[in-house]
């Protein structure tokens, strides 16, 4: 099925807006901040502050540049004393700053920095290094950890942090957060989340109407600009398209023989791997990364509380037992045949506990797993052929399980 | 007496068993963000779980290969049944590996745990939150011990620990003195003993050591030894490195160990609410690299190195330790600005003694040339 014109137009409209804002930020005409992934950017958009995401910058850089260029960035970071054993988004982004200092690695110079501690404490350490580089103010949104099943005290603490953030922003920008614009941003973000969430729900359909790879690209608006009109409009159109595909049983692969879960962040420098899985009839229908971050809902009637609930319930804030429950539910709801557990050297927070998930699914649900190591944003040591050989072997496991079930 | 300290550390499992035979219980912990005073006030013996240098086989089934040796080693001990003397553990959130580690521990080790969240910042709201966290931890510890605790008992515990800080600080100073009979390695041995025995017993040991030192003051031998500060997140490997430095004629005079100088730099200032005082102290003390701001850590540690008269710094970290690895570029900049020179080592290098010796020897020689 051809992509709908409306989807193309609204995607273009988003990127036009994004690049226009980026250009203004790069020329110093827009208040700009670097933000770590998964914090209340709705507030920033409501205050006309451009939120730039070095993590998204790193992931896009990995996806659209040759591996040699990405490797060069990681090596630049290493030369600057930043170990390649660290978060690969950080080594890419910091490496790009050191490799291309005249343009700060293609990133606009920030007016100030905002990091968050609750999703991943590494963010704050990384932002400290950037504060050292740029010598601008740095605000840390603190928050409780492992509290996705939040209690009132968790929400209270986080809400206090949101309010402190607003005070910081008002001081930095010498302007006030307009309540109407804030409400509107929350409404738009909630709509965008609804559409994104519904898109993910449609993948319960057999065959799945949208691929893991496409989502990796299409997630950019909701990650970077939740609360912008252009974001919501785009996801509405995308949702309608995906819904049509689901109704017409249009899948992403010529044949969908096996349905899989991907657990961890995508491998941005080897998104072709997803295509390879699909070429072998293995389609990803559920990823913890999309479902457990970008489809969280908001309540415009209770903006602070719902922002707290949304941003505290990311995957890395979930306790392991609950993660296992959620994945088991997904196995049932999405008719899953297997799970790919990507042990991501670039993210210890995400990767620790995954082996228990794999073992539990095997024991309790008979779901086979493929476990392999790699790095989400550092191609160093990544052997594409070897990984694809493992995929082939995994397919054999899935086939033999299917045959075993057929024979009773 | 130093050998007594080493013995106390090596025999910790046996001593813990003796403690338990008398009806006591033991609470293990993994890092210096753990408020030991609260454990002690609950009638429990706090013991740090340190990784051994044994082979990792079982924990590899549960933890990624790219996690630090400390956590892999600790889990390995638990899975091998070597922590049978531990009744509960406190897992204080110092890094992102610990975030996931707590879930793995709960699923696979039959020892109860409490995941202690320590905020990243130290403002009023963070302190309020941390105060509530400590109340919940206190409830957990009370349930474990079956004993009634109280602000008075906590006050007493803080007093004992503050005395320990003061005694440790005094003892740590002795290694700086020319001709001192107390070496850097000796201080590490005494620090390690303090992690596994009751604090009042450790205080007795320290008083005896200080008294012994007063009776046998240093005799400067006229040699001018190069002095070093160790910045390290691992006591075991620091012990090896200190030994090599001192065998090669240098002296370790300062450190940033979580339970070394960083622990004893400032006492807990107790106000009307000792629990709140504890919360404020642990949030605001010289932070562990997992906490912020890094710039402050770099400044304070550099001050420590300066005030100790160090000629050089040796930085040792375990592979895959995010906080220390992020701290490294900060420290390098700060140290260079102060005119210090630093040798960076991975903890794993302590396992290859000849190579380690070569590196340290080369560093000593380069410092010597610099001074000449």
Residues with Cβ within 8 Å of A288's Cβ and at least 6 positions away in sequence, in order, are A261, A262, A263, A264, A315, A323, A326, A327
Report chain A residues whose CB lies below 8 A from the CB of B117: 144-147
Report chain A residues whose CB lies below 8 A from the CB of B119: 117, 142, 157
Ranked by mean pLDDT, the top range of A63-72, A258-267, B44-53, B328-337 is A258-267
DSSP string, B53-115: SS---SGGGTS-TTS-HHHHHHHHHHHTTTTTT--EEEEE--SHHHHHHHHHHHHH--SEEEE
A40 has pLDDT over 90: yes
Least Cα distance to B86 among B165, B17, B27 occurs for: B27
Give the model's confidence band at A167: pLDDT under 50 very low, under 70 low, under 90 confident, else very high: very high
Residues with Cβ within 8 Å of B360's Cβ and at least 6 positions away in sequence, in order, are B241, B244, B245, B248, B250, B314, B343
Q: Quick check: A351 and B61 CB within 8 A?
A: no
Chain B, window 191-210: residues with a beta carbon less than 8 angstroms from a chain A beta carbon:
none
Nearest to B330 among A132, A323, A348 (CB): A132
- B139 part of contact set with chain A, CB < 8 Å: no
Q: Give the integer Cα–Cα distance in Å for A112 and B137.
A: 36
Q: Quick check: A355 and B61 CB within 8 A?
A: yes
What 3-state class would DSSP assign to A263? strand
Angle at the Cα of A40 from the Cα atoms of A35 and A43, rounded to 5 degrees: 100
What 3-state class would DSSP assign to A69? helix
Residues with Cβ within 8 Å of A237's Cβ and at least 6 positions away in sequence, in order, are A4, A6, A7, A9, A10
Q: Give the integer Cα–Cα distance in Å for A41 and A59.
A: 19
Q: Give the integer Cα–Cα distance in Å for B44 and B190.
A: 21
Q: Residue B88 forms beta bridges with which residues?
A: B27, B112
Q: Quick check: A373 and B64 CB within 8 A?
A: yes
Report chain B residues whose CB lies below 8 A from the CB of A160: 125
Q: Quick check: A316 and B125 CB within 8 A?
A: no
Q: Give the integer Cα–Cα distance in Å for A137 and A303.
A: 26
Distance from the A34 Cα atom to the nearest Cα atom in chain B, whole angstroms: 18
Q: Give the integer Cα–Cα distance in Å for A361 and A363.
A: 6
Q: Find where tokens 């540690």 sit.
A: B301
DSSP string, A243-262: HHHHHTT--SSS---EEEEE
CA dihedral B84, B85, B90, B92 (to 10 degrees): -80
B182 has pLDDT over 60: yes
Instruction: State the pLDDT at residue A386.
Output: 96
Chain B, window 311-330: residues with a beta carbon less than 8 angstroms from a chain A beta carbon:
319-320, 322-323, 325-330
- Mutation site for A-interface testing, chosen from B66, B317, B332, B335 by largest number of A Cβ within 10 Å: B66
Q: Find where tokens 């106000």 sit.
A: B271
Domain ranges of chain A: 5-406
Entry pTM: 0.94
Question: Could you report the predicted ipTM of this complex, rounded to two decimals?
Answer: 0.94
Structure tokens at B72: 């892999």
pLDDT digits 0-9 by tens, A188-237: 999 999 999 999 999 999 999 999 999 999 999 999 999 999 999 999 99
Domain ranges of chain B: 2-149
- Mutation site for B-interface testing, chosen from A353, A357, A380 by largest number of B Cβ within 10 Å: A353
Instruction: State the pLDDT at residue B5.
Output: 85
Q: Residue B231 forms beta bridges with which residues?
A: B315
Q: Give the integer Cα–Cα distance in Å for A235 and B336.
A: 51
Instruction: State the pLDDT at residue A257.
Output: 97
Q: Quick check: B106 and A157 CB within 8 A?
A: no
Report chain A residues whose CB lies below 8 A from the CB of B299: none
Give the model's confidence band at B323: pLDDT under 50 very low, under 70 low, under 90 confident, else very high: confident
Residues with Cβ within 8 Å of B197's Cβ and at least 6 positions away in sequence, in order, are B8, B12, B15, B205
For A361, what's the count of Cα atoms within 13 Å in the CB-facing half-sphere? 30
Task: Give the nearest chain B residue to A115 (CA atoms).
Answer: B120
Residue A365 · residue A334 · CB < 8 Å: no
Q: Quick check: A355 and B62 CB within 8 A?
A: yes
Report chain B residues whose CB lies below 8 A from the CB of A316: 96, 99
pLDDT digits 0-9 by tens, A284-323: 999 999 999 999 999 999 999 999 999 999 999 999 999 9
- CATH architecture group of domain B2-149: 3-Layer(aba) Sandwich (3.40)
Task: Give the nearest chain B residue to A372 (CA atoms).
Answer: B64
CA dihedral B177, B180, B182, B184 (to 10 degrees): 50
């Amino acid at each position: 099925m051809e992509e709908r014109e409306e989807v193309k137009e609204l995607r273009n409209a988003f990127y036009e807006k994004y690049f226009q804002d980026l250009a203004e930020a790069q020329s110093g005409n827009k208040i700009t901040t670097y933000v770590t992934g998964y914090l209340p950017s709705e507030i920033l958009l409501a205050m006309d502050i451009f939120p730039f995401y070095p993590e998204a910058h790193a992931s896009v850089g990995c996806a659209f540049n040759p591996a040699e260029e990405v490797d060069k960035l990681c090596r630049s970071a290493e030369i600057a004393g930043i170990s390649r054993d660290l978060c690969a988004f950080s080594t890419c982004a910091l490496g790009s700053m050191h490799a291309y200092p005249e343009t700060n690695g293609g990133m606009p110079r920030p007016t100030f920095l905002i990091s968050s501690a609750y999703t991943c404490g590494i963010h704050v350490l990384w932002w400290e290094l950037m504060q050292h580089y740029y010598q601008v103010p740095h605000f840390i949104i603190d928050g409780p950890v492992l509290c996705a099943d939040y209690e009132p005290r968790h929400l209270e603490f986080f809400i206090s942090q949101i309010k402190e953030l607003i005070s910081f922003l008002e001081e930095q920008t010498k302007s006030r957060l307009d309540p109407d614009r804030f409400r509107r941003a929350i409404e738009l973000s909630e709509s965008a989340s609804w559409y994104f969430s519904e898109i993910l729900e449609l993948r319960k359909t057999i065959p799945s109407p949208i691929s893991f790879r496409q989502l990796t690209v299409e997630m950019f608006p909701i990650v970077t600009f939740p609360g912008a009109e252009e974001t919501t409009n785009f996801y509405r159109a995308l949702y309608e398209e995906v819904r049509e595909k689901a109704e017409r049983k249009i899948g992403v692969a010529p044949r969908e023989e096996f349905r899989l879960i991907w657990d961890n962040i995508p491998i941005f420098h080897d998104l072709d791997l997803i295509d390879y899985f699909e070429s072998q009839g293995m389609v990803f229908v559920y990823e913890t990364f999309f479902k457990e971050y970008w489809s969280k809902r908001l309540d415009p009637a209770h903006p602070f509380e719902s922002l707290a609930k949304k941003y505290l319930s990311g995957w890395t804030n979930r306790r392991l037992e609950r993660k296992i429950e959620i994945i088991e539910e997904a196995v049932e709801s999405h008719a899953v045949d297997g799970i790919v557990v990507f042990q991501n050297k670039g993210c210890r927070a995400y990767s620790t506990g995954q082996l228990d998930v794999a073992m539990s699914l095997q024991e309790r649900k008979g779901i086979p797993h493929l476990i392999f190591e790699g790095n989400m944003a550092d191609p160093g040591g990544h052997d594409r052929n070897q990984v694809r050989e493992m995929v082939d072997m995994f397919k054999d496991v899935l086939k033999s399980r299917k045959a075993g079930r057929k024979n009773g | 007496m130093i050998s007594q300290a080493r013995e106390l550390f090596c025999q910790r499992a046996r001593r813990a068993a003796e403690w338990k035979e008398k009806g006591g219980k033991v609470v293990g912990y993994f890092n210096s963000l753990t408020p030991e005073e609260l454990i002690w006030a609950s009638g429990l013996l706090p013991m740090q779980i340190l990784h051994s240098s044994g082979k990792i086989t079982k924990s590899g089934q549960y933890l990624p290969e790219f996690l630090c040796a400390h956590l892999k080693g600790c889990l390995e001990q638990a899975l091998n049944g070597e922590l049978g003397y531990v009744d509960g553990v406190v897992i204080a959130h110092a890094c992102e590996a610990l975030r996931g580690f707590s879930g793995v521990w709960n699923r696979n080790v039959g020892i109860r745990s409490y995941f202690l969240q320590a905020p990243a910042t130290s403002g009023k709201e963070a302190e309020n939150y941390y105060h509530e966290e400590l109340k919940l931890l206190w409830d957990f510890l009370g349930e474990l011990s079956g004993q009634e605790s109280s602000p008075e008992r906590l006050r007493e515990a803080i007093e004992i620990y503050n005395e320990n800080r003061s005694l440790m600080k005094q003892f740590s100073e002795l290694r700086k003195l020319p001709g001192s009979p107390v070496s850097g390695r000796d201080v590490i041995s005494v620090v390690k003993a303090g992690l596994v025995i009751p604090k009042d017993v450790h205080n007795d040991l320290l008083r005896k050591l200080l008294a012994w030192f007063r009776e046998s003051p240093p005799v400067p031998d006229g040699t001018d030894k190069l002095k070093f500060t160790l910045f390290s997140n691992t006591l075991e490997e620091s012990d090896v490195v200190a030994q090599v430095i001192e065998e090669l004629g240098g002296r370790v005079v300062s450190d940033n160990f979580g339970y070394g100088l960083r622990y004893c730099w400032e006492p807990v200032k107790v106000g009307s609410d000792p629990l709140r005082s504890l919360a404020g102290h642990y949030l605001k003390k010289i932070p562990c690299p997992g906490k912020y701001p890094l710039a402050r850590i770099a400044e304070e540690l550099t001050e420590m190195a300066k005030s100790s008269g160090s000629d050089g710094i040796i930085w040792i970290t375990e592979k895959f330790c995010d906080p220390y690895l992020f701290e490294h570029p900060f420290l390098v900049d700060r140290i260079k600005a102060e005119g210090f020179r630093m040798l960076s080592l991975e903890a794993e290098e302590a396992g290859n003694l000849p190579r380690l010796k070569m590196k340290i020897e080369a560093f000593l020689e380069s410092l010597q040339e610099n001074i000449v």
